[in-house]
C-alpha cells in the first residue's frame, strides 16, 4: 500500500492508491508505530474505508491502529448525514466498549495493607470471563428501560450517584435509542449480562497517579500525584455483539438493493436515510446505553467493595466519576468541512471522542500505565474530534499465549507490585504487556500531533481480568 509522509505525525494513502477510494486515507503515527503496520492488513482495511459512499475528507486511523473486522481498530470514518451511509463494521462488535475512571481521596498507604483483600473482593463481586452472568437478572421491561436511559436507569435503581451522569459522555445515554430494533436473541443475551466485565481486553484496575503533566488541568478534574484511582474498561457485552451481527446481515442484503459496491463485505452499509440504517442506529444507540448502564453498575459495586474492605462509608472514600468515555459508536455531529458546517455520521471504531477540554481516558496494558488526556481544538480540525483509545495490539491472543509458554504472567506482575486476578487459564497470557504497543509511544504521538494533550499518567496496583 502506497504511503506518503505529510508531516512528523501524519501519513497518507493517496486516493488513487486503490480502485474505488473516494478520499485519501490518513494515519496519525510516527516512524516507530508506522513500522508495526507492515505485518497486518490494517492499512488495506483503512483504504477500503475510504470507498464508503458519502465519506468526507479522509478515512482516518489513530496510532493504536491494528487489523480489525472491516475497518481497522483505531479507525475513524465520517459520512454525510444525508447523502452518506452507515456501516456496522466501521463501528465494531463491542458497541460502546468504553472506559470509566473513578478518583478517590485515598493514597497508596491507605490501600497498600488491604490491596490483596481489595483485589479479592472486587474479583468476587464483579462477574468476569467469557459468558459471565451478572448478579442482576433484568425483567424485559427493565432491559428496555436500561437500553433507553443508559446510566440514568442504573442511578434510579439505586446503583450510583446522581452526579455520575454529569461526568459521562452524552450524560450516559445516547438520544434516539430504539430498543424495539434490538432482536430477541440480543435481548436474551443482555438479560443476565448488565453488571458483568466480560473477557479479552476488558478489565477493572486499581491505579495510582504517578505523574502529572498539566497541574492546572489535573486539578480541574480532581487528580493529583499519589491519588488512588479505579479504571473500568468494558462495553455492551453479548447484547452489543449480537446487534452488530444482526445488522451486518441486514446491511449486506441491502447492498444490491441500493446499488452499493464495497471492496469488503465486512464493510456492508446502508444509506443514511434507509430503513436499515435507521433501525441499526436505533439498535446501536440502545446497545450503547446498555454499556453506559453496565459501567455504572460496576462502578457502584466497586464503591461497595472499597467501603466493605476499608471499613469506611463509600462517601468518605471519594470514588467519584472523573469521566466515562465511549469508543465503538457512531454519533451525529456537526463539523466544519471546507469552511462550512456539515452534519456528519462519525463512526469511531476503537477511537475516542476528543472534543476541546473533554477528558480522554487511554488505557494501556496491565503491566505499564494508562493516561488521562484532554481533547483539543486541533482534534476538531484534523480528526473530527477524535483520538486514540488505547495502546493497540501487537500480537493476536493466540500468538500471545504461545509467546507466554513457560512463563507465569501473574508472578511477573506480582514482582512489579501488581496484584492480578483473572478467570480462565490463558487470560493473563493473552493480555500480557508485550502483546500491546507501549501506550507511552501512542500517547506521545497524539500529544505531539496536538489532537489531545497529556494530563496525568496512572500506574496499576491491582487488575481484575476476564
Cβ proximity of 238 and 189 under 8 Å: yes
At a CB cut-off of 8 Å and minimum separation 6, what does 293 contact? 146, 149, 150, 151, 153, 154, 172, 194
At a CB cut-off of 8 Å and minimum separation 6, what does 185 contact? 242, 246
Query: What span, in angstroms and rounded, lies between the C-alpha atoms of 294 and 102?
Result: 15
CA proximity to 26, closest of 43, 40, 51, 39: 43
Beta strands in 23-97 (DSSP E): 25-28, 59-66, 73-80, 85-86
Whole-Å CA distances, 156 to 160, 163, 249:
8, 12, 36
Burial class (CB in 10 A: 0-12, 13-18, 19+), 120: middle
Helix (H, G, I), strand (E, B) or coil at 48: helix
233 catalytic residue (yes or no): no
Helix residue spans in 311-389 (DSSP H): 314-317, 377-382
Query: What span, in angstroms and rounded, lies between the C-alpha atoms of 138 and 374?
Result: 36
Pairing of strands 340-349, 98-107: unpaired
CA proximity to 86, closest of 346, 291, 285: 346
Options 36, 241, 327, 389, the catalytic residue: 389
Residue located via cell numbers 444490491: 256
| Catalytically annotated residues | 389
Amino acid at each position: 500500500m502506497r504511503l506518503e509522509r505529510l508531516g512528523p505525525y501524519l501519513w497518507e494513502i493517496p486516493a488513487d492508491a486503490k480502485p474505488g477510494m473516494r478520499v485519501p486515507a490518513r494515519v496519525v503515527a510516527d516512524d516507530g508505530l508506522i513500522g508495526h503496520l507492515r505485518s497486518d492488513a490494517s492499512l488495506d482495511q483503512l483504504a477500503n474505508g475510504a470507498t464508503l459512499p458519502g465519506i468526507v475528507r479522509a478515512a482516518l486511523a489513530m496510532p493504536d491502529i491494528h487489523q480489525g473486522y472491516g475497518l481497522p481498530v483505531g479507525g475513524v470514518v465520517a459520512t454525510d448525514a444525508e447523502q452518506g451511509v452507515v456501516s456496522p463494521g466501521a463501528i465494531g462488535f463491542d458497541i460502546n466498549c468504553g472506559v470509566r475512571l473513578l478518583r478517590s481521596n485515598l493514597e497508596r498507604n491507605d490501600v497498600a495493607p488491604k490491596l490483596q483483600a481489595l483485589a479479592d473482593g472486587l474479583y468476587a463481586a464483579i462477574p468476569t470471563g467469557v459468558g459471565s452472568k451478572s448478579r442482576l437478572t433484568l425483567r424485559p421491561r427493565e432491559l428496555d428501560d436500561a437500553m433507553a436511559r443508559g446510566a440514568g436507569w442504573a442511578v434510579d435503581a439505586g446503583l450510583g450517584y446522581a452526579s455520575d451522569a454529569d461526568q459521562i459522555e452524552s450524560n450516559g445515554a445516547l438520544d434516539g435509542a430504539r430498543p424495539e430494533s434490538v432482536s430477541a436473541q440480543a435481548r436474551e443475551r443482555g438479560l443476565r449480562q448488565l453488571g458483568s466485565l466480560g473477557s479479552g481486553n476488558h478489565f477493572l484496575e486499581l491505579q495510582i497517579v504517578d505523574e502529572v503533566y498539566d497541574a492546572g488541568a489535573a486539578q480541574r478534574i480532581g487528580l493529583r500525584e499519589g491519588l488512588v484511582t479505579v479504571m473500568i474498561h468494558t462495553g455492551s457485552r453479548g447484547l452489543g455483539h449480537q446487534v452488530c451481527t444482526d445488522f451486518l446481515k441486514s446491511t449486506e442484503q441491502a447492498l444490491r438493493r441500493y446499488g452499493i459496491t464495497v471492496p469488503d463485505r465486512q464493510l456492508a452499509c446502508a444509506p443514511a436515510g434507509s430503513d436499515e440504517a435507521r433501525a441499526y442506529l436505533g439498535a446501536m444507540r440502545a446497545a450503547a446505553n446498555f454499556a453506559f448502564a453496565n459501567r455504572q453498575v460496576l462502578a457502584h459495586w466497586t464503591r461497595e467493595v472499597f467501603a466493605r474492605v476499608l471499613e469506611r462509608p463509600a462517601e468518605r472514600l471519594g470514588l467519584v466519576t472523573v469521566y466515562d468515555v465511549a469508543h465503538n459508536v457512531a454519533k451525529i455531529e456537526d463539523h466544519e468541512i471546507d469552511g462550512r458546517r456539515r452534519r456528519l455520521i462519525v463512526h469511531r471504531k476503537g477511537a475516542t471522542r476528543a472534543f476541546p477540554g473533554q477528558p480522554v481516558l487511554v488505557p494501556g496494558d496491565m503491566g505499564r500505565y494508562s493516561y488521562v488526556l484532554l481533547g483539543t481544538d486541533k482534534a476538531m480540525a484534523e480528526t473530527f474530534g477524535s483520538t486514540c483509545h488505547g495502546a493497540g495490539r501487537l500480537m493476536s491472543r493466540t500468538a500471545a499465549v504461545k509467546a507466554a509458554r513457560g512463563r507465569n504472567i501473574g508472578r511477573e506482575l506480582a514482582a512489579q507490585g501488581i496484584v492480578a486476578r483473572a478467570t480462565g487459564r490463558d487470560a493473563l497470557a493473552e493480555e500480557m504487556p508485550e502483546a500491546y504497543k507501549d501506550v507511552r509511544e501512542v500517547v506521545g504521538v497524539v500529544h505531539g500531533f496536538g489532537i489531545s494533550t497529556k494530563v496525568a499518567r496512572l500506574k496499576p496496583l491491582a487488575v481484575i481480568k476476564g
